[in-house]
Amino acid sequence: MSDTAGITTTPPLPSPGSSHDDHGTTGEGLTPRNKLVINLLLVSAFVVILNETIMGVALPHLMRDLDIEASAAQWLTTAFLLTMAVVIPITGFLLQRFNTRPVFISAMSLFSLGTLIAALAPGFEVLLVGRIVQASGTAIMMPLLMTTAMTLVPPASRGRTMGNISIVISVAPAIGPTISGIILSFLDWRWMFILVLPIALGALALGAARVQNVTTPRKSQVDVLSVILSALGFGGLIFGLSNLGESAGEGGIPAWVPLVVGALSLAIFVMRQFTLQRSDRALLDLRTFRSRTFTFSIVMLAISMAALFGTIILLPIYMQTVLGLNALTTGLLLLPGGLVMGIMAPFVGRFFDRHGPRGLLLAGSIIVSVVFWSMTMLDENSPFGFVLAAHIVLSMGLALLFTPLFTSALGSLEPSLYSHGSAIVGTIQQLAGAAGTALFITVMTSQIATGVTQGVEEVAATADGINTAFMYGAVISLFAIVAAFFIRRPAPALDGAPLPMGH
C-alpha cells in the first residue's frame, strides 16, 4: 500500500499484456483477452447509450397511440435522465466493491429487461417503468467501460482507446434521433425496442461467456446518507433543468423548487464527501479535483456536452418548424455529422497519443465557437445546405474535443481514483446535457413569446428565438477556448504508482 496526498491506493494490477494465459499483445499493448473485454464493453455501451436520445422523435407517435399529453410523454426522456443522474454517482462505489464480470452482467441484464418491458408495454405506465429499468443498466455501463479501459490500456495507447469510447459517448446520442426517425417512418414505435432487444441479449450472452474480471475489488461500506443526498442533489438538478427546458406546463411543480432542493442537497453531499474521504469511505471521492488537468477537462467537457445536447434539441426544431422539413429528412440531415464524429475519433486518438491534448483542444474549441457564431445568423430563409454544413463542421470540432478530454481527465488521476473519476465524468455529462437543453429551449421559447406579442409571424419568431439561443451558446463556447490552455498531457504512472496531483 502507498499513500500520497492522503490518498490510499490499492496494490497495482498486473500490467496489460502480462497475463500468463494470454500470449502476445495487440497494437494497443493489450492482450487478446483484454482487447475482447474492452470491445464487448464498447459495443454494449453503444447500444445502451443510444437509447438516451432515441425517444425524442417518437414522442408525437406515443402521444397519439397511447392517448397521452406532451407533459406526460416527456417523462419517457426525463425519467431516463433522472435515473441516470441518481445511479451514476453510485457506480464509483460499485466498481470498487465488485468484480468486472458481475457488474457487466447486472448492467446488461437490467438494460435488456427494461427493453423487453418497453417492447411489451400495454400502456404509458409500463413503458415508463421499462425506460427507468433501461436507464439503471445504462448508468452503470459507461463508468464501467471507462474504468476498465483506464485499468487495462497502457498510458501510451489510451488516446486510441478513448477515441473509440468517445464514439459511444458522443455519436450514439447524436444518431439516436436519426435511427428513431427512420424506424418510425416504416414501423410502429415498439420496434425501437424490439430491434434493440436481440442485440442487447447477444451482448449479454457473449459478455457472460467471455468477459473476465480485470479489477481487484476491495471491501467497503456504502454510506446510505450519501446515496440519499446524491439522489436528491443530482436528481433535483436534472429534474429542475428538464422542467426549465420544457418551459413546463400548467399545474406542474415550478422549476425553481427542485433546483433549490437539488442545489442544497448537493452542497450537503459535497461536505459529507469531504468528511468521509478522510477515512477513504466517500461515495464519490472529490479528491479527483485536486488534479488541475481533471478540473479543467471537466469544465470543457461540460461546455461540450451542453453544446452537443443543445444542438441535438434545437436543430430539429429549426428544420421542422422554420424550414418545414419532415422528421425523416431532419433525421437524415443530422446523420452525416454523427458519422463524421465517429470516423474522426480513432484518428484523433492516435494524434493524442503522439502529440498530446493541447493542439486538439484549441482547434476543436475554436471550431465549435466559430460554428456557434455562424448559427446566430440562421433565419427563415437560410438554405438547409448551410445547416447541414454547419452541423458537420460542429461535429468535427466536438470530435477533436471529446477524446483528449476523456483521456486527459482520467489519465491525470492515480489508479485508485479511476472509478470515482469515471462516475464524475458520467454525472457531469448528464447535468451538462440537461443544462444545455434547458438553456437553449428556455432562451428560444422566451424570445418566441416576445416576438409573437410584438406581432412577429410565428415562423420568423421561432427563427429569431433559435438565433438568440445560439448566441448564448456562442458566448459560452469562448470559455472552452480559455480552458484549453490549462490542460496538458498527463504524466504516465509507472507500475501503478500514484500520479502527481498537480497534473
pLDDT in tens, the chain (503 residues): 333 333 333 333 444 443 344 444 555 556 777 788 888 888 888 888 887 777 766 777 787 888 887 667 777 877 887 788 788 888 877 887 788 788 889 999 999 999 999 999 988 899 999 999 998 998 888 888 888 888 888 877 777 787 878 777 777 777 777 788 788 888 888 898 999 899 899 989 988 887 777 666 777 677 888 888 988 888 888 778 767 655 444 446 777 888 899 899 999 999 998 988 888 788 888 888 989 999 999 999 888 888 877 887 788 788 878 888 877 787 788 788 888 888 888 888 889 888 889 899 999 999 999 999 999 888 888 888 898 999 999 989 988 998 888 888 888 888 888 888 888 888 888 788 878 877 888 888 888 888 888 888 888 888 888 888 889 889 988 999 999 999 888 765 433 444 444 44
Read off the C-alpha cell for 292: 488541475
346, burial (CB in 10 Å: exposed 0-12, middle 13-18, buried 19+): middle
Q: Is 156 in contact with 397 (CB distance < 8 Å)?
A: no
- State the Rg of the chain over Cα: 22
Enumerate helices (H) and strands (E) in the chain, giving the number of each.
18, 2
Domain extent for 220: 27-484
pLDDT attached to residue 443: 84
Q: What is the DSSP letter of 443?
A: H
Query: Would you give the end-to-end CA distance of the chain in angstroms?
Result: 22
Q: What is the DSSP letter of 415?
A: G
Reduced to 3 states, what is the DSSP secondary structure of residue 1? coil
pLDDT attached to residue 3: 37
Which CA distances in Å does 226 have to 153, 257, 453? 31, 21, 47
Beta bridge partners of 8: 3
pLDDT attached to residue 20: 40
Tell me the whole-structure pTM to 2 decimals. Answer: 0.76
Residue 420, in any domain of the structure: yes
Residue 496, in any domain of the structure: no
Residue 16, in any domain of the structure: no
Residue in 202, 244, 166 with CA at minimum distance from that of residue 435: 244
pLDDT attached to residue 249: 45
Dmax over CA atoms of the chain, in Å, equals: 75
Q: What is the DSSP letter of 356?
A: -
pLDDT in tens, 280-304: 788 888 888 989 999 999 999 888 8
Reduced to 3 states, what is the DSSP secondary structure of residue 332? helix
480, burial (CB in 10 Å: exposed 0-12, middle 13-18, buried 19+): buried
CA pair distance 346, 131, nearest whole angstrom:
31
pLDDT attached to residue 442: 81
Residue 14, in any domain of the structure: no
Residue 100, in any domain of the structure: yes
Is the C-alpha dihedral spanning 219, 222, 223, 226 positive or negative?
positive
CA pair distance 476, 402, nearest whole angstrom:
17
How many domains are contained in the chain?
1
Residue in 193, 213, 189 with CA at minimum distance from that of residue 201: 193
Residue linked to cell 441518481 = 86
Reduced to 3 states, what is the DSSP secondary structure of residue 7? strand
Residue 163, in any domain of the structure: yes
pLDDT attached to residue 201: 93
CA pair distance 96, 195, nearest whole angstrom:
34
Q: Is 281 in contact with 221 (CB distance < 8 Å)?
A: yes
Residue 42, in any domain of the structure: yes
Q: What is the CATH number of the domain that holds 162?
A: 1.20.1250.20
Residue 154, in any domain of the structure: yes
Give the 3-state secondary structure of 227-286: HHHHHHHHHHHHHHHHHHHCCCCCCCCCCHHHHHHHHHHHHHHHHHHHHHHHHCCCCCCH
pLDDT attached to residue 422: 83
Is the C-alpha dihedral spanning 47, 401, 481, 386 positive or negative?
negative
